[in-house]
Amino acid sequence: MKNILITGGLGFIGSHLSEALVKSNNVYVIDNLSKRVHPYKSFVYKPRKIKFIESNINNSSLLKELLPKIDIIYHFASHQDHLKDYSKFIENNVKSASLIFEILNDLKSKRLKQFILASSQSVYGNGYVKLNNKNYEATRILKNLKNKIWYAIDEKEKYIRHKETDILKPINIYGLSKQFQEDIVKQCARDLDINYTILRYSIVQGARQSFFNSYSGLCRNLITSYIKEESPIIFEDGNSIRDFINIKDVTKANCLILNNKKAYNEIFNIGGGKGHKLLSFNEIVKKELNTKINPIVNRYFRINDPRYTVSNINKMNKYFKWKPMNDINLSIKQYIDWVYKHKRFLKLSKNSLGTMVRQGSVIDCN
């Protein structure tokens, strides 16, 4: 039985993992129930038997008290948003990782075996496309986007899946903060002789994903809008390509790497492995909800958004025989079921489009 700390352990991914791990470990969770994700405490899902401490992760005295007894850390607490609150990304994502290692460094006895970081495919930024057998960076310019030219190089370009060995070129503050986190973890873990494992998730889906945080993405946006009988916004022309992974597969991956030497000092992509057009995803949701409402397409775009983002998951498969077992249809069904169970909270969720347009992170092309 190990003592495991999950920071942000009452969030979407953390609550599933803490529930799985508490069956055979002591699980400590530090979570500050951040307002953006959990505006209503009565709605928070808290797995039974975990040892929950409500606190900001940047709490030195708490970390000094807790870390001496911890064997493994999953660092999930993170600020995720499309708004331009830059300093919050640094405070929550970069400072937190640094502080944990600073305190680990001062401990008399070294107990921690593995530090696991939840990173993101957003560290890859625009990635690359293939055209006429040549690879190009899929960089796009704002002027083109404002004129509704959505491709990077040419309409015939094909996306290339991100590999763990790609050079990281994040294009937004969240991705940048994840890259900093990764660098801090690698550097400090080496200095302190602690094993690290970094998992770069694609878009994770399933029950308990906050329907209050605008960062929660396409699945939440479509499903909550259609249930409220509103037209959801699909950015650009709906032909952007994304890679989705079910929460159960993510939990499995997190359990496989736990205390596993093969995962020490390694980085793995954890994704669905194949790309889906946003419009195709929307069709599945519409069919599932049996709605005739249409989305608003080809009007808004998000600045600093890649056109394509799909991760290559061969490495995780090669090392652990892990592969996604739950397809997007199932993720959509699971999310719908969960939203219906909590429908009374749905009316409290607000559309954040206006704020994003005002702050300039979403552009209205009309």
Ligand X SMILES: NC(=O)c1ccc[n+]([C@@H]2O[C@H](COP(=O)([O-])OP(=O)(O)OC[C@H]3O[C@@H](n4cnc5c(N)ncnc54)[C@H](O)[C@@H]3O)[C@@H](O)[C@H]2O)c1
Q: Which residues bind ligand X (CB under 6 A)?
A: 8, 10-14, 30-34, 37-38, 56-58, 76-80, 92, 96, 118, 120, 201, 203-204, 210, 213
Phi, psi (degrees; rounded to nearest 5) at 356: -65, -35
Q: How far is Cα 331 from Cα 246, in angstroms, rounded to an integer?
A: 6
Question: Concatenated DSSP letters for 45-94?
Answer: ---TT-EEEES-S--HHHHHHHGGG-SEEEE------SS--HHHHIIIII
3-state secondary structure of 240: coil
Nearer to ligand X, 37 or 129 (CB): 37
Residue listed under structure tokens 């808004």: 300
- Residue 156 Cβ vs ligand X, minimum distance, rounded to whole Å: 30
Residue nearest to ligand X (CB): 11
Q: Report the alpha-carbon angle 210-78-188, nearest 5.
A: 155
CA 271 to each of CA 188, 246, 253, 314: distance values in angstroms, whole numbers, following the listed order: 27, 8, 10, 10
Nearer to ligand X, 151 or 211 (CB): 211
Structure tokens at 76: 């999930």
- Residue 48 Cβ vs ligand X, minimum distance, rounded to whole Å: 17
CA 43 to each of CA 21, 37, 113, 342: distance values in angstroms, whole numbers, following the listed order: 22, 11, 34, 8
Nearer to ligand X, 32 or 197 (CB): 32
Nearer to ligand X, 145 or 219 (CB): 219
Nearer to ligand X, 151 or 322 (CB): 322
- Residue 360 Cβ vs ligand X, minimum distance, rounded to whole Å: 22
For residue 282, the tally of other CB atoms under 10 A from its CB is 21
- Residue 174 Cβ vs ligand X, minimum distance, rounded to whole Å: 7
- Residue 243 Cβ vs ligand X, minimum distance, rounded to whole Å: 10
Nearer to ligand X, 3 or 119 (CB): 119
Residue listed under structure tokens 């709490």: 59
Nearer to ligand X, 3 or 18 (CB): 18
- Residue 231 Cβ vs ligand X, minimum distance, rounded to whole Å: 24
